[in-house]
């Protein structure tokens, strides 16, 4: 369809849309209209066509806009100043969510699914590449394997240079770089943090392309062969970003059983969102796992230093000058997720401050160089991190009526239901259809609820003072000797959960005795239902603070590789690995010899040859043998990295099942019950442990 035809179609349909949005109806007619609309949507949902999806998006957007129009024109009448303050606050929160919904539809309705652009057979045509691994205070245990994996990348040696950028100025890092044969770059000061570190390296190196890996992101050997091709095809391409895949569990996956069987928190962004951005040439640079053209960086003066999210700001600057960007939705590197909820909160708070800074100092809505689609994609990203205050408003809004008898929505319960149900049902259904393999319904509410109280002050302060705050590095690679409940991080959540519980009890009492209290039982039912949902989401968020013990320093990865076990007696047995880590392996037990014969080493049998690794046995049974790897030279560790972390298919995972909103809600409810069950179980076990010494002392006496 030509642009002219598209705009003519919009001109014809605009009056129809306006009629749908602004026509007032009583509750009965609105119920009928809403049910017919929902029915039409469900019928269209039987088709898998992308064009039908676009039609469904339009219908959902119209119904949500109709709801906002009704809220704007019919419900903002209040009887007191406090009702007006709370009511307008809730309305603004709903307006924010509506805007995010519409912008999200724009981003994700038609994602661009790129495939790998092959490189020419003549390697002399391939560009030179500098690989940067920036580090500040991370341990060498974290950085070592990233550098070794970079050395495993399949690319002509004369066209690939690897540099360890050490802002910590540590002698052991310099020695390590010399031992493995990579460049080591440091500087006199740490000005502008990571961005300054990268810019300093740019002055010393000269590769045509720059590839950046955070110091915990381990590349697969095919990384450059999969990402460099588009730069040869398109001379105006400045950036190619790949997903951030994490091979260690994040706090949600570690602390919630249910979260281990659903898409990761970042799956939505590194799926439909970035693919949608790519469709509009608005791909964000995410700081790592990306390739950037040096000439594009030089044209904007290097990596952006004005904000603490130098990555997204750098992409914005390049796109303003007409440079292109791309997103390849194939995980070609993997890193360590934040281990604890407290670290997760710190990291996300920095992201929120950084995106708010960009909104203030280089607002994408203004200035030259961007198309309107690019402006809206960036606007959505920046507004997204302002969810703190709106989320708090949604969680606490029912308390206004349940505890203080304040009416903050001037309408009957039946009319509220009639307007809000089609809006919610249709938006949930359409989002589930488009993004259901990347984000399950209601889990976004949990992710936001975990963060909301912590983001309110930082985002407001940054909005008024964009230079407030500084860059902070997220700790990675730690262990947790003992599980604990991080009450400090969820204190506001617990307080609001207690208030909601009181509000629900008060609401049930008032509904039961509605004649005595002179209240509308339907209004009570509406607010109690709202409060119950808020409480479920809050309790699921609180459950994430139940930190589980993590004593393993290296993460196990399920992989089946032929192996040979060598025993002290000289006997050898063939078997298969069931999982591997950089610290050890679990093997299928071929027989019972391991129970009486010492294991000295194992061979991992690869297509490229065998790797011999000295080991010691940790434990074993009839089915498995668990081994610890002993100290090995760096050359052998590099080969182990190639096997465990840098395989071409190391991080290719099957797609998750399509989302089912009702099953998703059931999973969340089960998570809440598990919180109480596991807390009670821990207390019981702790009581038994404390009782045992007392029994022993009595026996001794």
What is 602-643 written as a DSSP string?
Answer: EEEEETTEEEEEEEEEEEE-SSEEEEEEPP--HHHHHHHHHH
Q: How confident is the model at residue 549 (pLDDT cuts 50, 70, 90)?
A: confident
Q: How confident is the model at residue 691 (pLDDT cuts 50, 70, 90)?
A: low
Supply the pLDDT for residue 401.
96
Among residues 130, 311, 486, 659, the one annotated as catalytic is 311
Is the pLDDT at 699 greater than 70? The verdict is no
Lowest mean pLDDT of 133-147, 163-177, 248-262, 330-344, name the range. 248-262
Side by side, the strands of the sheet bearing 218-219 are 218-219, 333-335, 245-246
Is the pLDDT at 686 greater than 80? The verdict is no
- Please work out, in degrees rounded to the nearest 5, the angle formed at the alpha carbon of residue 496 by the alpha carbons of 492 and 500: 170
Among residues 145, 166, 167, 216, the one annotated as catalytic is 167
| Residue tagged 């959902």 (tokens) | 60
Q: How confident is the model at residue 491 (pLDDT cuts 50, 70, 90)?
A: very high
**Under a CB-based contact definition with an 8 Å cutoff, are residues 341 and 544 in contact?**
yes
Q: Which pair of structure tokens corresponds to residue 195?
A: 């961005």
Is the pLDDT at 623 greater than 80? The verdict is yes
Is the pLDDT at 684 greater than 70? The verdict is no
**Under a CB-based contact definition with an 8 Å cutoff, are residues 315 and 284 in contact?**
yes
Residue 350 CB neighbours (<10 A): 19
**Under a CB-based contact definition with an 8 Å cutoff, are residues 543 and 489 in contact?**
no
**Under a CB-based contact definition with an 8 Å cutoff, are residues 301 and 192 in contact?**
no
| Residue tagged 């460099």 (tokens) | 228
Across 418-427, 464-473, 552-561, the highest mean pLDDT is recorded for 418-427
Catalytic residue list contains 515: no
Lowest mean pLDDT of 141-145, 240-244, 305-309, 651-655, name the range. 651-655
Is the pLDDT at 474 greater than 70? The verdict is no
The string of DSSP letters for 649-676 reads TTT--PPPPPP-HHHHHHHHHHHHHHHH
Q: How confident is the model at residue 259 (pLDDT cuts 50, 70, 90)?
A: confident
Backbone angles phi, psi at 506, to 5 degrees: -60, -40
The pLDDT mean for the chain works out to 92
| Percent above pLDDT 90 for the chain | 80
Is the pLDDT at 210 greater than 80? The verdict is yes
With H, G, I as helix, E, B as strand and everything else as coil, classify residue 571.
coil
Cα-Cα-Cα-Cα dihedral sign, residues 167, 168, 169, 171: negative
| Residue tagged 């010492």 (tokens) | 598
**Under a CB-based contact definition with an 8 Å cutoff, are residues 268 and 438 in contact?**
yes
CA-to-CA separations, 277 to 55, 385, 403, 486, in angstroms, rounded? 20, 17, 44, 36
Supply the pLDDT for residue 701.
44
Q: In this structure, what is the dihedral angle of CA atoms 90, 95, 99, 102, given to the nearest 10 degrees?
A: 100
Supply the pLDDT for residue 626.
94
Structure-model confidence comparison of residues 14 and 475, the more confident one: 14
Mean per-residue pLDDT for 41-63?
95
Is the pLDDT at 696 greater than 80? The verdict is no
Is the pLDDT at 700 greater than 60? The verdict is no
Residue 263 CA to residue 59 CA, distance in Å, equals: 27
Enter the DSSP assignment of 601.
E
Q: How confident is the model at residue 13 (pLDDT cuts 50, 70, 90)?
A: confident
Enter the DSSP assignment of 271.
I
Is the pLDDT at 472 greater than 70? The verdict is no
Specify the pTM: 0.91
Is the pLDDT at 478 greater than 60? The verdict is no
| Residue tagged 């088709």 (tokens) | 47
User: Per DSSP, which regions of 112-182 are E strands?
Assistant: 129-135, 160-166
Is the pLDDT at 80 greater than 80? The verdict is yes
Supply the pLDDT for residue 688.
60
User: CA 364: distance to chain centroid?
Assistant: 23
Is the pLDDT at 693 greater than 80? The verdict is no
pLDDT 10s digits, 136-182: 989 999 999 999 999 999 999 999 999 999 999 999 999 999 999 99
With H, G, I as helix, E, B as strand and everything else as coil, classify residue 364.
coil
Supply the pLDDT for residue 164.
98
| Percent above pLDDT 70 for the chain | 93
Is the pLDDT at 86 greater than 80? The verdict is yes
Mean per-residue pLDDT for 668-672?
92
Supply the pLDDT for residue 369.
94
Tell me the Ramachandran region of residue 477: left when phi exceeds 0, alpha when psi lies from -120 to 50, beta otherwise. left
Backbone angles phi, psi at 220, to 5 degrees: -80, 160
Quick one: three-class SS letters along 280-331?
CCCCCCCCCCEEEEHHHHHHCCCCCCCCCCHHHHHHHHHHHCCCEEEECCCC
Q: Which pair of structure tokens corresponds to residue 37?
A: 């609309």
Using alpha carbons, select from 489, 583, 473 the residue that is nearest to residue 545: 489
Q: Which pair of structure tokens corresponds to residue 246?
A: 């994490």
CA-to-CA separations, 453 to 208, 209, 441, 447, 512, in angstroms, rounded? 44, 41, 22, 12, 33
Mean per-residue pLDDT for 653-675?
91
Is the pLDDT at 201 greater than 50? The verdict is yes
Is the pLDDT at 694 greater than 60? The verdict is no
Residue 586 CB neighbours (<10 A): 19
**Under a CB-based contact definition with an 8 Å cutoff, are residues 27 and 412 in contact?**
yes
Residue 213 CB neighbours (<10 A): 24
**Under a CB-based contact definition with an 8 Å cutoff, are residues 169 and 138 in contact?**
no
Using alpha carbons, select from 223, 244, 242 the residue that is nearest to residue 119: 223
Catalytic residue list contains 166: no
Alpha-carbon Rg for the chain in angstroms: 28
CA-to-CA separations, 419 to 19, 71, 311, 426, 589, in angstroms, rounded? 16, 9, 41, 12, 62
Mean per-residue pLDDT for 555-566?
90
Mean per-residue pLDDT for 335-359?
93
Mean per-residue pLDDT for 246-252?
91
């Amino acid at each position: 369809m030509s642009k002219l035809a598209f705009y003519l179609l919009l001109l014809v349909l605009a009056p129809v849309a306006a009629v749908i949005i602004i026509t007032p109806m009583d509750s009965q007619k609105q119920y009928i209209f809403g049910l017919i609309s929902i029915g039409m949507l469900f019928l269209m949902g039987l088709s898998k066509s992308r064009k039908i999806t676009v039609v469904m998006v339009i219908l959902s957007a119209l119904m949500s806009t109709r709801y906002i129009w009704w809220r704007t024109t019919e419900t903002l009448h209040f009887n007191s100043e406090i009702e007006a303050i709370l009511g307008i606050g809730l309305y603004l929160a709903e307006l924010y969510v509506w805007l995010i919904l519409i912008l999200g539809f724009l981003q994700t309705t038609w994602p661009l699914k790129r495939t790998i652009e092959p490189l020419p057979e003549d390697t002399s045509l391939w560009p030179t590449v500098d690989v940067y691994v920036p580090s500040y205070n991370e341990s060498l245990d974290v950085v070592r394997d990233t550098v070794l994996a970079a050395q495993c990348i399949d690319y002509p040696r004369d066209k690939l240079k690897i540099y360890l950028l050490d802002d910590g100025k540590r002698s052991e890092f310099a020695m390590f770089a010399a031992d493995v044969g990579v460049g080591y770059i440091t500087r006199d000061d740490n000005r502008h943090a990571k961005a300054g570190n990268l810019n300093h390296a740019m002055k010393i190196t000269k590769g045509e392309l720059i590839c950046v890996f955070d110091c915990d992101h381990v590349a697969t050997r095919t990384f450059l062969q999969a990402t460099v091709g588009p730069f040869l095809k398109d001379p105006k391409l400045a950036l190619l970003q790949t997903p951030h895949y994490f091979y260690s569990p994040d706090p949600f996956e570690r602390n919630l059983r249910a979260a281990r069987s659903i898409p990761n928190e970042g799956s939505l962004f590194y799926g439909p969102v970035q693919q949608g951005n790519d469709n509009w040439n608005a791909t964000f640079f995410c700081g790592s796992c990306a390739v950037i053209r040096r000439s594009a960086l030089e044209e904007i003066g290097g990596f952006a230093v004005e904000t603490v999210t130098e990555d997204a700001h750098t992409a914005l600057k390049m796109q303003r000058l007409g440079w292109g960007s791309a997103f390849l939705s194939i995980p070609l590197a993997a890193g360590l997720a934040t281990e604890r909820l407290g670290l997760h909160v710190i990291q996300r708070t920095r992201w929120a401050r950084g995106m708010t800074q960009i909104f203030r100092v280089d607002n994408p809505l203004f200035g030259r160089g961007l198309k309107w689609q690019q402006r809206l994609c960036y606007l959505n990203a920046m507004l997204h991190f302002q969810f703190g205050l709106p989320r708090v408003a949604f969680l606490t809004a029912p308390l206004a009526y349940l505890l203080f008898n304040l009416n903050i929505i001037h309408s009957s319960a039946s009319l509220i239901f009639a307007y809000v149900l089609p809006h919610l049902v249709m938006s949930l259904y359409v989002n589930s259809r488009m993004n259901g393999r990347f984000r399950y319904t209601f889990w976004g509410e949990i992710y936001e609820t975990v963060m909301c109280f912590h983001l309110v002050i930082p985002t407001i302060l940054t909005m008024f003072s964009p230079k407030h705050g500084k860059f902070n590095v997220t700790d990675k690679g730690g262990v947790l000797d003992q599980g604990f409940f991080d009450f400090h991080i969820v204190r506001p959540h617990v307080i609001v959960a207690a208030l909601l519980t009181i509000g629900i009890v008060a609401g049930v009492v008032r509904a039961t005795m509605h004649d005595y209290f002179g209240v509308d039982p339907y209004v009570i039912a509406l607010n109690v239902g709202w409060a119950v949902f808020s409480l479920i989401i809050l309790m699921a968020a609180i459950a994430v603070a139940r930190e589980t013990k993590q004593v393993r320093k290296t993460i196990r990865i399920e992989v089946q590789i032929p192996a040979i076990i060598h025993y002290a007696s000289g006997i050898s047995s063939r078997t298969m690995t069931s999982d591997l880590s950089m610290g050890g392996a679990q093997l299928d037990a071929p027989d019972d010899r391991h129970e009486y014969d010492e294991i000295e080493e194992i061979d991992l049998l690869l297509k490229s040859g065998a790797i011999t690794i000295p080991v010691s046995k940790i434990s074993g049974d009839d089915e498995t043998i668990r081994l610890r790897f002993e100290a090995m030279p760096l050359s052998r560790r590099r080969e182990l990295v190639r096997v465990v972390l840098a395989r071409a298919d190391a991080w290719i995972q099957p797609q998750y099942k399509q989302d089912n909103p009702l099953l998703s809600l059931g999973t969340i409810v089960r998570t809440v019950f598990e919180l109480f069950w596991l807390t009670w179980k821990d207390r019981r076990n702790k009581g038994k442990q404390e009782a045992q010494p007392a029994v022993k002392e009595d026996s001794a006496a």
